[in-house]
Structure 1
Amino acid sequence: MKIGALKEPSFENRVSLTPDVIDALQKLGFSISIESGAGNQAFFSDSDYQQAGAKVLPKSELLGDSDILVSIHQTDADTFSKIAKSKLYIGTFSPLAQPTKFKEMANFGMKVFSMDMIPRITRAQSMDVLSSQATVSGYKAVLLAAANYSRFFPMLTTAAGTITPARALILGAGVAGLQAIATARRLGAVVDVFDTRPEVREQCMSLGAKFVEVEGAADASGSGGYAVEQSEDYQRRQKEAIAKYAEKADIIVTTALIPGKKAPVLITKEMVESMRKGSVIVDLAAVMGGNCELTQNDATILHNGVTIIGNSNLPSTQPMDASKMYAKNIVNFLKLFVNKEKQFNINLEDEIINTCLIADQGEIRHKAILSLLT
């Protein structure tokens, strides 16, 4: 089987396959082609791929030469029209967030696997692109906050006096939130963290954060690590608790997402206006409307002296390591399709494969996506 890695859109710096995974894919029985220039923005040259054993081809040749196409973002309609229906297309397509756009892609008839639909089970951890890329987002969110913050993060004792440490509030203790906690603590901030799941308390405390709990949250154990919708009474008490901590926070990083739905508003306009000037909010849920009422996706605004950063693609700002992590997720996913004799087989009895095959022969297979289209 031949795999072809497509060049990403101009706004994306990452690439779906990196030179360091070429050998592993070849050992599985695949031959690899990369679209010319696909790795440039992630600092992988065409010669890097060639030295690793991959072919570098223009897009027109790549599309005709590959049995399996891989990317991060969904490619354009013109490219789809040139891809044979018999081919497999693997990427991260956010079908729950943009079902209509995904339906348009599915109409071209390929077998489409969306990596962001991988079930969050133990066996799938090595191929969980949401977790690998959330690690990057949580880390970079704190660095971005530090770069825009008007003061130091750590406590400093100087000849000019003592500088108190920054207070960071992390909303959501999933993968991104935990990485944000760890990074903020490394920089010397005092960290408070809020999550609706009491079972993450120990993880947060082990990283040096204070865990803020509001009792009575809906059970999120079956949500795959995501937030779930809460009752009106809980939301009221939740906002009251968050407001107390937001008022004294210098840095807020928000990470709460509910699959296929608008992000819950956790930071209101009034909360922002209660924060002291020079503070920073980094909203990682910006692409789904934001956890802050004032967030604008892909924009940085200043409101009442508070900087609010809505960046939905922070992994693209750390393209080399983010690409390497994504590429390893792809390799581990493709291992599911190869048996001991290196024969390729789509085994729909495998829970991971079955869940990720979102479209086949022009038909949407996933019930949740179908419900969003009706």
Structure 2
Amino acid sequence: MKIAVLKEVGAETRVAAIPETVKKFAGLGATVAVERGAGVGASIADGDFEAAGATVGARAEVLKDADIILTVIGPEPDSVAGAKKGALLVGALDPAGRGDDVAAYAKAGLEALAMEWMPRITRAQSMDILSSQSNLAGYKAVVDAGSLFGRAFPMMMTAAGTVHPAKAFVMGVGVAGLQAIATARRLGAQVSATDVRSATKEQISSLGAKPIFVEGVAGIEGEGAGGYASETSAEYQAAQAELVSGHIAKQDIVITTALIPGRAAPRLISDAQLATMRPGSVIVDLAAEAGGNVEGCVAGETVERHGVKIIGAVQLARTLAADASALFSRNLANFLTAFWDKEKGGVVLPDEDEIVAAIRLTRGGQLVNERLKPAQ
């Protein structure tokens, strides 16, 4: 069984394997081939991969006879033209946004597996790339906010007087939100947070932050479908907007993380609400690529409205390439190891398995995922 690791292109700095996971694959009996320069963005030299037991070469050489192709971002179909039919293509393939590429993978005979569609179930936690990368994004959002904020985070008692702590507000308490809360608290800020899911109140409090929730209007009980939030009623949205308006004017740092799978990001902060914030305040919108939670947000840019800086965050995890690559590659290794058949010397993906059914996009030249079939 040969595993190929591709070098990412463009702004992507991460890599889908690290020396640690190369050794794991070798321990399973697999051979690993890494495209030359694949680890440069994550500070991993070709020699490090070779020392772990991999061979290093050009893409065509790496792809030749590969049974499994590991990637961070789905490659352009033409760039994997030399892959053999039936090979597994494993990574973040963006099936909802890159339907034409997924169709091309199918036409090429590749079995495409979208790791971002990993189900939120207990046995899949160690394979969940969204959680591992969101954790880093939540941390980096606070760090980036701090770099633009013109004041310190913690309270400081000095001979010249007291520096009061910054006030940080986190909107959306998933993996990224929880890490943002924890990071802002570690830096000494006074932190509050909100979410439409009632179950997150306890999580917010456990991190030492203050829960800010709509009272008297039902939000989403429990965790929502698959652990994600879903849309709320118009009544709740109106009550939440009123609550946020009264709270946000007092905040220095705001981190927004709200996403609804398959839909545009919900609007959480309006231009009118921005106008109530103090000049110099900073907002980091982690939903920028999905349209943004903040009115006026521009993905990939930092804009200023009413004296408030709005960071349209895009793929923050890749700015921490070494750690992001380590977590991402372990997610992939955990997935492959879980389905490794020692007797057959390779990965076996049962059709009836819940994980396989969720992430398999193509097989035998066809689109096979239920979430893609309506688009055929």
Deviation at 1:220, TM superposition (A): 6.0
Return the alpha-carbon distance in structure 1 between the equivalents of residues 221 and 109 of structure 2.
38
77-86 vs 37-46, which moves further: 77-86
**Secondary structure at 1:203 match in 2:** helix
Give the 3-state SS of the residue equivalent to 2:272 in structure 1.
helix
Provide the residue aligned with 2:6 in structure 1: 6
Tell me the equivalent position of 1:248.
250
Aligned partner letter, 2:338:
L
Answer with 301-310 or 82-91: which moved more.
Answer: 82-91
Q: Once the 2 structures are TM-superposed, how far is the Cα of residue 304 of structure 1 from its aligned partner?
A: 1.6
1:136 aligned residue: 136
* TM-fit CA distance, 1:159: 2.1
Q: Which runs of 5+ in 2 are unaligned?
A: none
Aligned to 1:121: 121
Give SS of 2:89's match: strand
User: Contact conserved, 2:65 with 2:83, CA < 8 A, in 1?
Assistant: no
The answer (yes or no) to whether the contact 2:171–2:195 under 8 Å persists in 1 is yes
Distance apart, 1:98 and its partner CA: 4.1
Q: Which amino acid aligns with 1:14?
A: R
Matches of 2:292 and 2:26 in 1, distance apart?
41
Summarize the alignment of residues 1-374 of structure 1 with structure 2, pairs less than 5 Å apart.
1-214=1-214, 215-219=217-221, 221-341=223-343, 343-344=345-346, 345-371=348-374, 373=375
TM-score (norm 1): 0.96
2: distance between equivalents of 1:286 and 1:42?
Answer: 24
Percent pairwise identity: 43
Q: Distance in 2 between matches of 1:12 and 1:358?
A: 23
Task: Tell me the distance in 2 between the aligned counterparts of 1:59 and 1:275.
Answer: 51
CA distance in 2, matches of 1:343, 1:349: 21
**1:152-194 CA distance string (max 9 Å, x none):** 1111112221111111110111110000000000000011100
Q: Deviations over 1:4-61 (max 9, x none)?
A: 0101112011101011111111112221111000000100000000001111111011
Amino acid at match of 1:26: A
Using structure 2 for the length normalisation, give the TM-score: 0.95
Note the alpha carbon deviations across 1:306-346, whole angstroms, 9 max, x for none.
11101221011000011000111011100132124363322
Unaligned ranges ≥5, structure 1: none
Instruction: Indicate if the aligned counterparts of 1:168 and 1:252 stay in contact, CA closer than 8 A.
Output: yes
**Residue 347 (structure 1) shift:** 1.3
Structure 1 CA distance for aligned equivalents of residues 305 and 98 of structure 2: 29
CA contact (8 A) 2:7 2:15 kept: yes
Answer yes or no: is the 8 Å Cα contact 1:177–1:255 preserved in 2: yes
Letter in 1 for 2:233: S
Q: 218-227 or 277-286, which moves further after superposition? A: 218-227
Contact 2:198 2:222 in 1 (8 A): no
Aligned-residue offset at 1:105: 3.9
For 1:77-106, what per-residue CA distance to the aligned partner results, in whole angstroms no more than 9, with x for missing partners? 321333233211001112234444433444
Offset from partner CA, 1:133-160 (integer Å, 9 cap, x none):
0110000000000011111111111222
Distance change in 2, residues 1:210/1:7 (3 Å): same
Q: Give the Cα separation in 1 of the matches to 2:212 and 2:118.
A: 30
Aligned to 1:198, what secondary structure does the other structure show?
coil
- Sort the Cα spacing of 1:207 and 1:234 in 2 relative to 1 into closer, same or farther, 3 A: same
Of the structure 1 ranges 83-92 and 169-178, higher mean CA displacement relative to structure 2 is found in 83-92
Q: Letter of the 2:359 partner, please give it.
A: C
Aligned to 2:361, the other structure's residue is in SS state strand
Amino acid at match of 1:299: E
Change (3 A) 1:245 1:106: farther
Give, in angstroms, the shift of residue 305 of structure 1.
1.1
SS at match of 1:316: helix
Q: Residues 247 and 97 from structure 1, CA distance in 2 versus in 1: closer, same or farther, beyond 3 angstroms? A: farther
Report the 3-state secondary structure (helix = DSSP H, G, I; strand = E; otherwise coil) of the residue aligned with 1:3. strand
* Cα distance change of structure 1 residues 341 and 199 upon mapping to structure 2, 3 Å threshold: same
Counting matched residue pairs gives: 373
Aligned partner letter, 1:308: I
In 2: Cα distance, 1:182 partner to 1:217 partner: 24
SS in 1 for 2:225: coil
